[in-house]
Amino acid sequence: LAPSAALPAFTTPSATLSSTRLFSSTPATFREKKDKSWVQQGEVPYPELKSHTETPDESLLLLDVREPSETAQGMIPSAVNVPLSEFGPAFLNKEGGGDFEKKYAFARPEFDKKIVVYCRSGKRSEQARTELEKAGWWNVRNYTGSWLDWTAQEKQRG
């Protein structure tokens, strides 16, 4: 037999199939929608913070970022302290864990926890807010008046 007679003839189909995949094996990921209504309110005013300190609850963490020598002058009621100078090991370490709680006497906050930061005048607390956001905490606001405003407001109230 001649070679051409032994092999079947193949023709190119006139219409080619689309190369589009009908199915994908990429796993779906579901993300919980973040409620940003609280954080979008921006800076925390004194009356809002005062209300929280009068009836504190677990939904909000008030974080004083001053150095221990400064907190010796006093702290806003219900506040806890992590100095800005210690933010690297405290918050930038993704593992968190028991060391944080041993050192600061409270549990490291979850990434969606409402956090209000303050310092002496509002500058370091703004830096702290930015650092926390970079590290994954997205629900953080700044009490820009900070300790100076708090003490002045409290003095006016008598």
Q: Which residues contact 19 (CB under 8 A, 6 or more apart)?
A: none
Pairing of the two strands 60-64 and 114-118: parallel
**Whole-angstrom distance, CA of residue 77 vs CA of residue 154:** 12
Kindly report the CATH number assigned to the domain that includes residue 72.
Answer: 3.40.250.10
Task: Answer with the residue of higher pLDDT: 55 or 7.
Answer: 55
Looking at this protein, which amino acid is placed at residue 149?
D
Task: Report residue 29's pLDDT band, with 50, 70 and 90 as the boundaries.
Answer: low
In a domain, 41, yes or no: no
Among 84, 90, 119, 132, the one annotated catalytic? 119
Report residue 128's pLDDT band, with 50, 70 and 90 as the boundaries.
very high
What's the average model confidence in pLDDT over 91-112? 85
Residue 61 within a domain? yes
| Residue 137 belongs to some domain of the structure | yes
**73-96 per-position pLDDT tens digit:** 999 999 999 999 999 889 987 666
Both tokens assigned to 55: 């009836």
Q: What's the number of domains the chain is made of?
A: 1
- pLDDT at position 5 is 52
Residue linked to tokens 């309110």: 41
Distance in angstroms (rounded) separating the CA atoms of residues 129 and 115: 9
> 143 in a domain, yes or no?
yes
Where in the sequence is the domain holding 100, given as residue range(s)? 46-157
119 catalytic residue (yes or no): yes
Is 130 or 20 the better-scoring residue by pLDDT? 130
Model confidence pTM above 0.85: no
Structure tokens at 157: 């109230």
Give percent of the chain with pLDDT exceeding 70.
77
Query: In this structure, is residue 83 part of a structural domain?
Result: yes
Per-residue pLDDT, averaged over 107-120, amounts to 97
The C-alpha atoms of residue 114 and residue 139 are separated, in whole angstroms, by 5
Partners of 115 in the beta sheet? Answer: 61, 140
For position 158, what pLDDT does the model report?
Answer: 79
Identify the pLDDT of residue 96: 63
Residue by residue, DSSP assigns 66-109 as S-HHHHTT---TT-EE--GGGHIIIIISTT--HHHHHHHSSPPP
